[in-house]
Amino acid sequence: MSGWYYDLEGACLYAECSQEWRNWSLLELIEATGVVPDLPELQKPDEYVSKLSGWVNRLNEIRERLRCSVCKQMMIPNYKYAKNLARYNMTVASCQSGEGHDQNIYLNHCWACREIIDSRESRIQVEKRYICIHCGSGPQKSDTYTQGDICPKCGARGMTGEGRSRLCSACNHSIRLPAAHHLTGPRSQRVRNLT
């Protein structure tokens, strides 16, 4: 049997600098240049490429969201919030054009549904955490908030619905609650029973 998939090999874990430089990946480039990142999160050299690649992939996911909604220029990160090698390593950004343009925009991913949280869309907060506009998740371990308690678009209380679907009677925004194992808060057991 033959086919393109039989010619594939597993992931390259070690640099192979003996190949022609045109075929080098980031792995060979780091090996050849002797780059040693000075980050506490990267203590193991064999993790450099995978963590750097993951970080670049996350930035690619939010690339268009890094633009100011007014002038479309790239926003500049607030490095006060970028101290650690986090999911996006840049969670707050502002447009250099100043007032009237996007300022202190929060970007991250939802811990429950993995969609992007952008404070320009997800404006409602609970316990200083933005509520996901997609699934209604807020703080991961809240004693007061359960997904669907508050509409993430307008802040109205008491979304209604069946199964995992919820609808706001005030603004008609709909969300899809996350999977049962991601439901949290004081009413999560009741919500699990309804889904």
Q: At residue 7, does pLDDT exceed 70?
A: no
Q: What type of residue sits at position 52?
A: L
Domain chopping of the chain, boundaries: 124-195
CB 82 within 8 A of CB 91: yes
pTM assigned to the model = 0.69
| Cα–Cα distance, 54 to 151 (Å, whole number) | 32
Determine the 3-state secondary structure of 160 from DSSP.
strand
Q: d(Cα 97, Cα 75) in Å, to the nearest integer?
A: 9
Q: Per-residue b/e over 91-111, b at no fewer than 16 CB within 10 Å?
A: bbbbbeeeeebbeebbbbbbb
Among residues 128, 103, 127, 105, which one has the least CA distance to residue 117?
105
Q: Which of 32-46, 129-143, 164-178 has the lowest mean pLDDT?
A: 32-46
Please give the average per-residue pLDDT across 116-133, as a whole number. 94
Residue 16: C-alpha distances to residues 19, 31, 77, 109 (Å): 6, 9, 35, 35
Torsion angles phi and psi, residue 149, rounded to 5: -65, -40
- Gap between the Cα atoms of 60 and 43, Å rounded: 25
Confidence of residue 97 (pLDDT cuts 50, 70, 90): very high
pLDDT digits (tens, 9 = 90+) for 14-59: 778 888 888 888 778 877 888 777 766 666 666 777 777 777 777 7
- Reported as a single tens digit per residue, the pLDDT across 58-73 is 778 888 899 999 999 9
Residue type, 30: I
SS3 193: helix
Token couple for 165: 């679907």
For the record, the structure tokens of 107 come out as 């970007």
The whole-number pLDDT of residue 85 equals 46
Question: In this structure, what are the phi and psi dihedrals at residue 64, rounded to the nearest 5 degrees?
Answer: -65, -30
Instruction: Output 47-55 pairs: Cβ under 8 A, ≥24 positions apart.
Output: 49/25, 51/85, 52/26, 53/26, 55/85, 55/88, 55/89
